[in-house]
Amino acid sequence: MTRLPLTRLAFVAGCALTLSACALLSTPDPVQTYRFGSPPRAAAAAPSSPVQVSLRRVEFPEAVEGDRLLGVTGTETAYIAGARWVAPAAALYMESLENAFAAQATRVRLIGTRELTRGQRSLDVDVRSFEARYDAPGLAPTVVVTVRARLLTMPDRNVAAERLFTVEQPAGVNRVSAIVEAFDLATRDVNTQIVAWTDANAG
Residue scoring higher pLDDT (200 or 37): 200
- Beta strands 121-134 and 142-153, pairing class: antiparallel
> Domain locations in the chain?
31-201
Phi, psi at residue 68, to the nearest 5°? -100, 150
How far, CA to CA in Å, does 34 sit from each of 42, 155, 179, 180? 23, 39, 11, 7
* Per-residue confidence band for 26, with pLDDT thresholds at 50, 70 and 90: very low
Q: What is the pLDDT of residue 7?
A: 45
φ/ψ region of 157 (left if φ > 0, alpha if ψ in -120 to 50, else beta) reads left
Residue pair 85/35 in contact (Cβ under 8 Å)? The answer is: yes
| Residue 67 to residue 181: CA distance in whole angstroms | 16
Q: What is the pLDDT of residue 119?
A: 81
Chain mean pLDDT for the chain? 85
Residue scoring higher pLDDT (108 or 18): 108
φ/ψ region of 87 (left if φ > 0, alpha if ψ in -120 to 50, else beta) reads beta
| Residue 3 to residue 75: CA distance in whole angstroms | 59
CATH annotation of 31-201: 3.40.50.10610
Question: Tens of pLDDT along 54-91?
Answer: 998 999 999 999 999 999 999 999 999 999 999 999 99
Question: Tens of pLDDT along 87-104?
Answer: 999 999 999 999 999 999
CB atoms within 10 A of CB 203: 10
Q: Where are the beta strands (DSSP E) in the chain?
A: 32-34, 51-55, 68-73, 76-85, 108-111, 121-134, 142-153, 159-170
Question: Tens of pLDDT along 133-170?
Answer: 999 998 999 999 999 999 999 888 899 999 999 999 99
